[in-house]
Structure 1
Amino acid sequence: MAAATDQLTAVLSTWRQWDLTPPLEAIPVLGAVWAEGSGHRLYTLANNPALCARLRHRSTSTVAGGFAREISAWTHAANRGLAPQIAYVDNTEEIVVCERLCPEEKSICAQKLGALARAIHQLPNTAYRLDLYQVINDYLQRVPAVTKPKWQLVVDDPRVTQALRRLEQDAPRLCHNDLTARNLLYKQEQLVAIDWEYAAMGSRYFDVAIAMEPLPLESQDAFLSAVFDEQPDSDLVAAGKLIARLCTLLWQQCFDTDSLIEASLWPAQSKAI
C-alpha cells in the first residue's frame, strides 16, 4: 500500500496540469479507498469530492497495451457523455484522475442500457479488434492445472466453435465488451460506463450478450430493440450468449475464485441459453 500511496502522491503533485474547468486552486489531498474492483482501486480526494483517482492493482486483461487502448476509447466515450470525464492520465503508473460518480441504489433500466450500448457502437473505430479465440485460449492457459483438461473439453465443444465463427463474420463495431452491472453508473439520469480496458472492435452481439446476462428475460427484448435498428439476428444472439457465458466462466476461474462453476456444469449452462 505504501508504494501505491507514493505513486498517487506523485500524481497529485501534477495538479496544475489537470484538464479541469475551472482549474484547481490548491493541491489535492489523498483520501481513503472508496471502491475496489477486480483490477482497480478508487481513492477519494479529500478536498475535491467531485474527483477520484484510479490505480490499477492487478491486470485482468490478457492482451498487452490494454491501458493505452482503454484511455483512447474512454476519452472518445467521455467526449460523448458516455463515460466519466478524465482530468489526468499517468501512462507509466497507469493512474487516472477522473470525475467521481457514485453508485445509486436503483436497478438498471433495460432501455437506457440499450441506448448506452447503441451509442458506444457509434463511437469512432479503432485499430484493435477483439480476438475471441485468443481471449478464450489466454484464459484457458490461466485456469488452474487441476481443472484445465475439463475446461479444454468445453472450449473444444463444436457449438463453441460454430458460435465463434458466426461472431467473427459479424460486421465489427467499437464495443465496450464488459457492460456488467459493476461497470455502470448514473450521471444524473444518464447511464454511463466505466472500466474500458476490454473496449475493442468486435461483434455487437457479444457485447450485448455480456450486458444482457443479468437482465430479466422479460426485459431483454426491450434492451435489444434499443440497441439495434433492425430485427436482431437470432442466430447471432444465441452465439453471443454462448460465448459470453463461456468467457465469463473462464474469467471467474482466473480472477474470481469466489464465483467458480465446475466445468461439468457447462452442458446445463449452455442448454439454458
Structure 2
Amino acid sequence: MDSFDSLGVFSLLEKIFQIDRTELGNFVPNENGITNLSWSFSVRGDKYMFRYPGELSRLFVNRQIEYDAYQSLISRGIQVSDELVYLDPHTGIKITKFIENFKHPDFKNISELSRSVHLIKQLHTSGIKVDSVYDFKETFLNYEKSLPVDFLNYVPDYTLLRKKFFNVLDELKIPADPVFCHTDPIPYNFLLKEDRDYIIDFEYASMGFYLFDLAAMIVYGELDKEWLHVILEIYSGEAPSSDLVSELAKYVGITSMIWVVFYLGGIGTGRDLEIQLKSAYRYASLYLEKF
C-alpha cells in the first residue's frame, strides 16, 4: 500500500468521502487495464472503482472530453454507463460505483455481441456532442512519436503497412455529420448483467463515424471477415450492402494499424501487450493487404 501513499490516494479519498483512513479497505488491483492503474475498494460497506491515469496516457487523453461525455450522459438520462462518483478533468482521477456480478462479452457469441452493439448504438443515436472529432492521421502520428528505436524488430514490414494505412485514409468516406463514439469498445469495457448492461471508460470518446466503433469491435473481438456482415446487420437490422461491408473493412484496417503503433509505442501499461500487438498486426496485415 506504499504506492497509495506516494500517489496521494488515501488523502484524496478521505477528502472526497469525508472519512477517516481507517474506514477505507479491501483494495484489490484491476489487472485488465491497458493504459491506467485501477483498484476496487470499499468505504463503509459500499464498493467503488478507483482509476489513476498511466503516465503516457496523460499525453494522449483529453480528460475534459471524458468529463463532458459523462456529464452529457447523466444530463440526458442515458443509462448505459457506470455510476460516476468523482472525476477530475485535470488529473484524470476517477471514482465510480463498483458493478457486481457482471461478465465481459464474448463477441463471437451472437447474443453477447448484439447486446454490446446495442449499447454502442445508444451512444451513436444519443445526440451527444463533445468538442473532439477523431482524427485518424493525427492520432497515428502522435502515437508514432513514442515508437522505440528497435520497433522494426517487432513489425519488420512496418514501412509498407504504414504506406498502405495512408492509402486507405485517402479513400475513406468521412461523414459530414459525425456521431458520438466510444472509440475504445474492447470487451473489458462492456459489463453484461441479467438485469442491465453497461459500457464504461469514456476516456477516448469523440465524435466520429459509427463504423469506427464497429471496426474496433471486430479487431478487439478477433472476429473473422464473415463477421463484418453480421455486425452490420445486428446494428441496422437489415442486410448490409457490399459497399458498406467494404467500407467497414477499410475501417478495420486503419483501426488495427493505429493499435499497432499504440502497442509498439508502449503507451499501454497493462498485461499481455505483446499478444495484443500480434493480434493488431495480424488484422492490419490482412485488411491493408490489397492497398
Q: Please, what TM-score do these two structures have when normalized by structure 1?
A: 0.80
- The answer as to whether partners of 2:143 and 2:265 remain within 8 angstroms in 1 is yes
User: CA deviation digits over 1:33-63, x for unaligned, max 9?
Assistant: 3303122222222334432222223333653
Distance 1:48 1:205, change over 3 A: same
Distance 1:222 1:27, change over 3 A: farther
Q: What corresponds to 1:113 in structure 2?
A: 116
User: Quick one: which of 29, 35, 40 aligns to 1:39?
Assistant: 35
Distance 1:197 1:164, change over 3 A: farther
Q: Distance in 2 between matches of 1:92 and 1:105?
A: 30
User: Quick one: which of 133, 136, 142 aligns to 2:137?
Assistant: 133
- The answer as to whether partners of 1:117 and 1:227 remain within 8 angstroms in 2 is no
| Paired letter, 2:135 | D
Q: Distance in 1 between matches of 2:279 and 2:80?
A: 36
| Paired letter, 1:226 | I
SS of residue matched to 1:192:
strand
Higher relative contact order (CA 8 A, sep 6+): 2
Q: What corresponds to 2:2 in structure 1?
A: 2
Distance 1:249 1:71, change over 3 A: same
RMSD of equivalent CA atoms: 3.4
Q: Distance in 1 between matches of 2:162 and 2:26?
A: 44
Alignment of 1:66-145 (within 5 A): 66-77=62-73, 79-102=77-100, 103-104=102-103, 107-108=106-107, 109-123=112-126, 124-145=128-149
Q: What corresponds to 2:274 in structure 1?
A: 258
Q: What corresponds to 1:156 in structure 2?
A: 163
User: Quick one: which of 52, 58, 61 aligns to 2:55?
Assistant: 58
Structure 1 residue 187: Cα displacement: 4.4
Identity %: 16
What is the aligned residue count? Answer: 265
- The answer as to whether partners of 1:28 and 1:45 remain within 8 angstroms in 2 is no
| Paired letter, 2:148 | P
Unaligned stretches of 5+ residues in structure 2: none
Structure 1 residue 116: Cα displacement: 1.0
User: Quick one: which of 210, 216, 226 aligns to 2:234?
Assistant: 226
Structure 1 residue 170: Cα displacement: 6.0
Q: Distance in 1 between matches of 2:280 and 2:89?
A: 38
- The answer as to whether partners of 1:42 and 1:55 remain within 8 angstroms in 2 is yes
Unaligned stretches of 5+ residues in structure 1: 18-23
| Paired letter, 1:250 | V
SS of residue matched to 1:80:
coil
Q: Distance in 1 between matches of 2:57 and 2:169?
A: 24
- The answer as to whether partners of 1:121 and 1:204 remain within 8 angstroms in 2 is yes
Q: Please, what TM-score do these two structures have when normalized by structure 2?
A: 0.76
SS of residue matched to 1:242:
helix
Structure 1 residue 3: Cα displacement: 5.2
User: CA deviation digits over 1:219-262, x for unaligned, max 9?
Assistant: 55443223236746223212111111211222221235523449
SS of residue matched to 1:168:
coil
- The answer as to whether partners of 2:117 and 2:235 remain within 8 angstroms in 1 is yes
* 100-109 vs 235-244, which moves further: 100-109
User: CA deviation digits over 1:16-44, x for unaligned, max 9?
Assistant: 57xxxxxx9x9851432330312222222
